[in-house]
Amino acid sequence: MADVKHHANHSVRVSIPMSVASDIGKFKETLGSILDRLGCPACCSAHDIYFEMQRDFRFDGDLDIAQAAFAPKRLAAAASVPVVSASLSPKLAGNIKEVFSALDRIVDLSAHPACTSGDDLFLRVESNFLINSAGQLDEQALVIGR
């Protein structure tokens, strides 16, 4: 097995509008911008990223201009909002093209093909190993679930 550097992961929370979530191209562009801001546009191996649909808004004094506002932090397990959780192996997370391929796979399997809208998305870097009945070890590159 290849030697993979493990970093202490940092949690990042991103509030995105439906217009970005409903377009996988825009979503990938946004992810690239976030990773660039975090210091490594080529991968997301050092960050667990929680993408939250904008559902909370604040208004100016005339109630004219709505601006997105972060919802109070909530634990994913206690949230009433559906969350798709995707665990990326450190090796996969270390290559932005592979991360984009994983996003394509996630939306292919979701109820919302070609977009990430409808559910919050939690991308986390995590090693997942399965041992079969013969005792053989198998490392999982991507694990998707709720």
Q: What's residue 29's pLDDT?
A: 93
* Of 90 and 81, more confident: 90
Q: Which residue has the higher pLDDT, 51 or 59?
A: 51
Contact 142, 87 (CB under 8 A): yes
The pLDDT of residue 95? 92
Distance CA 99, CA 11 (A): 17
What is the pLDDT at residue 7? 47
Contact between residue 103 and residue 34 where contact means Cβ atoms under 8 Å apart: no
DSSP class of residue 117 equals T
pLDDT at 94: 92
Position 79 scores a pLDDT of 54
Residue type, 45: S
Average pLDDT, the chain: 79
Q: What pTM did the predictor assign?
A: 0.72
Instruction: Give ∠ CA 137-140-141 in degrees, rounded to 5.
Output: 145
Average pLDDT in the 71-91 region?
71
pLDDT tens-digit series, residues 95-137:
999 999 999 888 888 766 667 766 788 889 988 888 888 888 8
- pLDDT of 2 higher than 50: no
